[in-house]
Amino acid sequence: MHIGIDGRYIADHYPGIGRYTWNLIRALIPLADRDELYVFVHPDLANARYDIGSLARHGNVHTVPVARGALDVRQHRAVARLARSHALDLFHAPTYSLPLFMPCPVVVTLHDLIPLAYPQALRGGSARVGYRLLVRLALAQAAAVVVDSEATRRDLTTLCGYHRDVAVIPLAADPAFRPATDGDVHAVLARLGVSRPYVLYVGTNKPHKNLLALLGAWVALSAGERRGHTLLWVGQQDPRREAEVRFVAEHASEGLRWMGPVAEANMAPLYTGATCVVVPSLYEGFGLPVLEAMACETPVLTSNCSALPEVAGDAALSFDARSASSVRAALVRMLSDCDLRRELVARGRARAQGFSWARTAAATYEVHRGVHTAGGGPE
């Protein structure tokens, strides 16, 4: 097969989709050793995380420069023309914004439907209409649809009225997420000016992340219940929302701190050094921070919403994200119960080992083969 993969998302601007695309490609390479992989890349996009040039070391991988971004209306004919010139048998788009007019079957991965479940996630009505249109175009064009979780599969039915078969293929933690040594933890924390003990939240402050509820639950704890901990928020701020940043600034004396984005190399030590990691989201298509923390042998506190129970299983302490008292009670229990934390570390280690990019790639490759064998196109 000649398999095309849209690698234009392997860029700093697309942290989650970029991670998915990069890890999928790397894990596909040994599986598709008798195939040719064509990775479409935008050479002008900032990319400080991944060495795309290293793909050339594999004889069956070819990078295809595309001077158009994935949201540029001029990209459609350019990508279709390149797909034709490389005689692609199929093209895999790692998100809903896929090129039109493709001369070959298209496989699309839909990670979530956040803008449909939480319309405030997008700015303005026109953006929401545009998103819905792009999703419908993707579903109409796709020969096969891949999702990360059963929760997203259900949402495709309830929010989009999509009733065709969908491949549910879970993700995995990046191999870089593993327990850091005490020396590495100490060095990273010293460099970042972080003191232990701390509780860690990793993510943005978009509405579905429910960060404000977590911050409110934290300041509702007494000093004794916090046990000397700081709650660290690591991640980008949504520029449209300032409430969380203001809240942290106003309550810094109560053990809140926003770190902003942190370099990728520092994340495993940050996870490892935390007393626990909290994932308070109201909606996730998957929830990689759950597995990343577990892979680093750190206890996890997570909401019981959307895909998070699928990912966490019985290896996390869960709470009702819509109940302030439930969030608060879970924090108190986690910080006060050493035996619980030890038990969750053991369960989490085993849970994380049940997910791997090798499995993700193998299941995805089976989708590719099925589409190719069927001569695929949308039904």
Residue 142 sits in a domain whose CATH number is 3.40.50.2000
What DSSP string describes 80-141? HHHHHHTT-SEEEESSS---SS-SS-EEEEE---HHHH-GGGSSHHHHHHHHHHHHHHHHHH
pLDDT at 357: 96
- Chain-centroid distance, C-alpha 350: 20
What are 101's two structure tokens? 């007019």
Both 108 and 255 in one domain: the answer is no
Q: What is the pLDDT of residue 32?
A: 87
Are residues 117 and 26 both part of a single domain?
A: yes
Residue 114 amino acid letter: I
Do residues 238 and 128 share a domain? no
- CA 52 to the chain's CA centroid: 20
Is the domain of 93 the same as that of 197? no
Same domain membership, residue 202 and residue 114: no
All residues at 6 or more sequence positions from 329 whose CB lies less than 8 Å from its CB, including other chains: 319
Neighbours of 110 (CB within 10 A): 25
Output the pLDDT for position 240: 82
pTM for this model (two decimals): 0.92
C-beta atoms surrounding 349 within 10 Å: 16
pLDDT the model gives residue 359: 97
Q: Is the dihedral of CA 360, 366, 371, 372 positive or negative?
A: positive
User: Rounded to an integer, what distance in angstroms lies between the CA atom of residue 80 and that of residue 100?
Assistant: 7
Query: Is there a domain that residue 32 lies in?
Result: yes
The dihedrals phi and psi of 61, each to the nearest 5 degrees, come to -115, 135
- Residues 273, 297: contact at Cβ < 8 Å? no
Question: How many structural domains comprise the chain?
Answer: 2
pLDDT tens readout for residues 39-51: 999 888 888 788 8
Q: How far apart are CA 125 and CA 147, in angstroms?
A: 26
Segments forming the whole domain that contains residue 268: 182-353
One domain, residues 72 and 131: yes
DSSP 25: H
**Residues 24 and 84 grouped into a single domain:** yes
- Residue 146 and residue 210 share a domain: no
Residue pointed to by tokens 């935390």: 274
Q: Is residue 210 part of a domain?
A: yes
Residue 53 neighbours by CB under 8 Å, 6+ apart: none
Q: Answer yes or no: do 87 and 114 share one domain.
A: yes
In a domain, 177, yes or no: no
214 & 154 share domain: no
The verdict on residue 261 lying in a domain is yes
Query: Which residues in the chain land under pLDDT 50?
Result: 378-379
Same domain, 122 and 43: yes
Q: Does a structural domain hold residue 132?
A: yes
Spatial strand order of the sheet with 198-202 comes to: 256-260, 230-234, 198-202, 276-279, 300-303, 317-319
Q: Are 311 and 257 in contact (CB under 8 A)?
A: no
90, 211, 360 from 376: Cα distances, Å = 9, 42, 21
At residue 107's C-alpha, the angle toward residues 106 and 113, to 5°, is 120
Q: Coil, helix or strand for 248? A: helix
Q: Is residue 176 in some structural domain?
A: no
Domain identity same for 190 and 244: yes
CB contact at 8 A, 214 and 246 = no
Decide if 360 contacts 24 (C-beta within 8 A).
yes
Q: What is the pLDDT of residue 117?
A: 85
Strands 61-65 and 36-41 turn out to be parallel
